[in-house]
Chains A and B, each alone.
Chain A
Amino acid sequence: MNNSMKKIYPLYFLIPAALIYCTFFLLPTSMAFFYGMTWWTLDDWEFIWFDNYIQFFKEPSLRIGFQNTLIYAFSTMGGKVILGLLLAVFLCSKIRNKSLLRSVVFFPALLSTIAVGFTFSAMMHPTNGLINKALGILGIEGPNWLGNPKIALLSVALTDIWKGVGIATVIFIAGIMAIPKHYYEALKIDGGNALQSFFHITLPLSRPAMNTVIILALIGGLRTFDLVWAMTGGGPGFSTDLLASIVYKQYASGFFGLATAGNVMLFVFVALVAFPIFRFLNRKEVDL
């Protein structure tokens, strides 16, 4: 690039973006690494090394957040990948009213999480709720979806899958549409059936789309706060407390240093899960 061309792409065009992004996102994020190691009252701080982190691992009510967050992130990811792929294959087949069905499946993704959370809490009501009434008609006694500590986290995850499967589906549809048709034609000529076309063509060739769905769903799941807060508030007990909700609870009770340490661990968690998968995805794309 010669000098006159460089002049026409001036670096000062980056200044407004850099100013806002650094001040309101990068600066507080890097500050968190320092304040996570302090006893902090906003006006004053005392450096206490790793005590906050140690406390996070020692106290069962805090430690449960790691376990819950992992369970939540991987179960919602699994649900979205499997259901999204099946829905996408179905919506790419020769049925009528495809676009209508596609819109119906996708629309919940645009709704407010709080609204969806409240609606599903009402439907999961142990005695009056629609889900248990429907199960009652079939002769099954429905569980107390949000009141039973053993399944409450799973109930929230199911709601998340309901809301998020539409995004997974449209990404898979984009991936499947990009597969050249002649692969399917070749398989047909060789006498392959529908199952073979799914396992030998659709599944391997929609890998880039699947990687995208996996990474988006995992990041979304690890960061989740709204849905849990709207549906259970972390309860019963601490059974649905995720890292993000624990961080908020610590902040609300005035443990600012502890909350910040939790935030740092949330970053590390997301980075540990997301970056390797992201790099893997990039490498794969080069290979293709």
Chain B
Amino acid sequence: MSSKQEEIITQYQQESSVQVVKTMARKKVNKGLILIESFAFLIAIIFFGIPFYFVIINSLKDSGGAAELNLSWPDNFQFLQNYQEVLTLNDGIVLRAFLNSSLITISSIIVIIFICSMAGFILSRRQGMAKKLNYVILIGLMIPPTIVPTIWLLQKIGLFKTFPGIIFLESALQFSFACLLYTAFVATIPKELDEAALMDGCGPFSLFFKIIFPLLKPVTSTVIVLSSIQIYNDFENMLYFFPGADNATVQLTLYNFTGIYGTSYHLLFADVLLISIPPLVLFIFFNKKIVDGMTAGAVKG
């Protein structure tokens, strides 16, 4: 064997050994990554999966089984009975609550979109105005509503415990957030568009409703999704400003549930699950929209 051949062979061996070391290293990294990944999933399942499983499985048990509050498989399934019982309790108060909450949520959102898009348009185009009102709007993001003066005021104008009352109130409380979102978004629409419309003889109404408002669609859908979750999940304001047996709303019905059916955990969890369905559906369809809206709103406020 010539020295040259030897050289080539050793070089080849070295190269291949380097190759082997490289693949080994890659495998090692992969193994570590898989370990980390499975650890992450384990943690996610323990902290976030188990509470959901706990609610679901206990909503399927009978009252004795659910009272034990464990994760075991139900001895006898009561899927239909439990949910039927929840929905027919107290003359179907849960169904009525769903209807009332939907009515409040939808009406408030219509009001919010109307007032906030108009206000956002003007505030974004008139910067001087916006600066003056900045703190007045920010107050609404930070400060909770007062209980007694608001009730007193609602009573004086005859709107306490009425649908219009709670709808206007929810709109007022969501105003700051939605208005800031709209103001920020209108700024991305070029002013030249307004000028062109003005040249073509547009008045303010046709400019806004025919040209600007359709362009606000992305932010309008963000406002719809975020506000509907907020208002649907609102417990505090419904408790203060919309009490009364006839005015059942979902969160209040759930809260009163324990008072009336204290130990019936199977029915409680069935109700919890029913109430969680609308946000879940929204989340499945608008996942990205919700996350973007919440982070965008957060950066603003």
Q: Which residues on A sit within 8 Å (CB–CB) of B125?
A: 9
Knowing A123-B51, A130-B54 are in contact, say whether A167-B294 is a contact too (CB < 8 A): yes
Which residues in window 243-301 of B have CB below 8 A to A? 250-251, 254-255, 258, 265, 268-269, 272, 275-276, 279-280, 282-283, 287, 290-291, 294-295, 298-299, 301
Q: Which residues on A sit within 8 Å (CB–CB) of B258?
A: 118
Knowing A21-B172, A263-B148 are in contact, say whether A171-B153 is a contact too (CB < 8 A): no
Asked if A207 is at the interface of the complex by the 8 Å CB criterion, the answer is no
Instruction: Kindly state the interface size class of chain B when it binds its partner.
Output: 35 or more
Which residues in window 101-129 of A have CB below 8 A to B? 101, 103-115, 118-120, 122-123, 125, 128-129
Q: Give chain B nearest CB distance to A280 CB in angstroms.
A: 15
Q: Which residues on B sit within 8 Å (CB–CB) of A130?
A: 50, 54, 69-71
Can you add 18 more A-B contacts, CB < 8 Å, to A20-B168, A104-B44, A267-B144?
A8-B198, A10-B122, A20-B172, A25-B173, A28-B146, A28-B150, A32-B148, A95-B37, A97-B37, A112-B276, A113-B233, A115-B254, A123-B51, A213-B298, A226-B235, A248-B240, A260-B147, A278-B138
Interchain CA distance A133-B290 in the complex, whole Å? 36
B157 to chain A: closest residue by CB: A23
Q: Which residues on B sit within 8 Å (CB–CB) of A111?
A: 233, 276, 279
Knowing A25-B140, A226-B235, A251-B148 are in contact, say whether A115-B275 is a contact too (CB < 8 A): yes
Which residues in window 1-56 of A have CB below 8 A to B? 1, 4-5, 7-11, 13-14, 16-18, 20-21, 23-29, 31-32, 35, 40, 42
Q: Which residues on B sit within 8 Å (CB–CB) of A85?
A: none
- Which B residues form the contact surface with A (CB < 8 A)? 33, 36-37, 40-41, 44, 47-51, 54-55, 67-71, 111, 114-116, 118-119, 121-123, 125-126, 129, 136, 138-150, 152-153, 155, 168-169, 171-173, 175-176, 179, 194-195, 197-198, 202-204, 207-208, 229, 232-233, 235-236, 239-240, 250-251, 254-255, 258, 265, 268-269, 272, 275-276, 279-280, 282-283, 287, 290-291, 294-295, 298-299, 301
Is the Cβ of B172 less than 8 Å from the Cβ of A219? Answer: no
- Could you count the A-B residue pairs with CB atoms below 8 Å apart for me: how many are there? 243
Interchain CA distance A35-B151 in the complex, whole Å? 13
Is the Cβ of A17 less than 8 Å from the Cβ of B54? Answer: no
Interchain CA distance A31-B41 in the complex, whole Å? 52
Interchain CA distance A103-B272 in the complex, whole Å? 20
Q: Give chain B nearest CB distance to A142 CB in angstroms.
A: 13
B255 to chain A: closest residue by CB: A114
Find A133's partner among B70, B176, B268 (CB 8 Å cutoff).
B70
Q: Which residues on A sit within 8 Å (CB–CB) of B68?
A: 128
Is the Cβ of A118 less than 8 Å from the Cβ of B171? Answer: no
Q: Which residues on A sit within 8 Å (CB–CB) of B236?
A: 225-226, 244
Is the Cβ of B149 less than 8 Å from the Cβ of A31? Answer: yes
Q: Which residues on A sit within 8 Å (CB–CB) of B168?
A: 20, 23-24
Find B37's partner among A14, A96, A112 (CB 8 Å cutoff).
A96
Q: Give chain A nearest CB distance to B52 CB in angstroms.
A: 9
Interchain CA distance A42-B208 in the complex, whole Å? 43
Asked if A170 is at the interface of the complex by the 8 Å CB criterion, the answer is yes
Q: Which residues on A sit within 8 Å (CB–CB) of B254?
A: 112, 114-115, 118
- Which A residues form the contact surface with B (CB < 8 A)? 1, 4-5, 7-11, 13-14, 16-18, 20-21, 23-29, 31-32, 35, 40, 42, 90, 94-97, 101, 103-115, 118-120, 122-123, 125, 128-130, 133, 162, 167, 170-171, 174, 208, 212-213, 215-216, 219, 223, 225-226, 229-230, 244, 247-248, 251, 256, 259-260, 263-264, 266-267, 270-271, 274, 278
Is the Cβ of B255 less than 8 Å from the Cβ of A8? Answer: no
Q: Which residues on A sit within 8 Å (CB–CB) of B148?
A: 32, 35, 40, 42, 251, 256, 259-260, 263
Find B146's partner among A7, A8, A31, A95 (CB 8 Å cutoff).
A31
Interchain CA distance A123-B145 in the complex, whole Å? 32
Q: Which residues on A sit within 8 Å (CB–CB) of B171?
A: 20, 24
A22 to chain B: closest residue by CB: B172
Is the Cβ of A170 less than 8 Å from the Cβ of B50? Answer: no
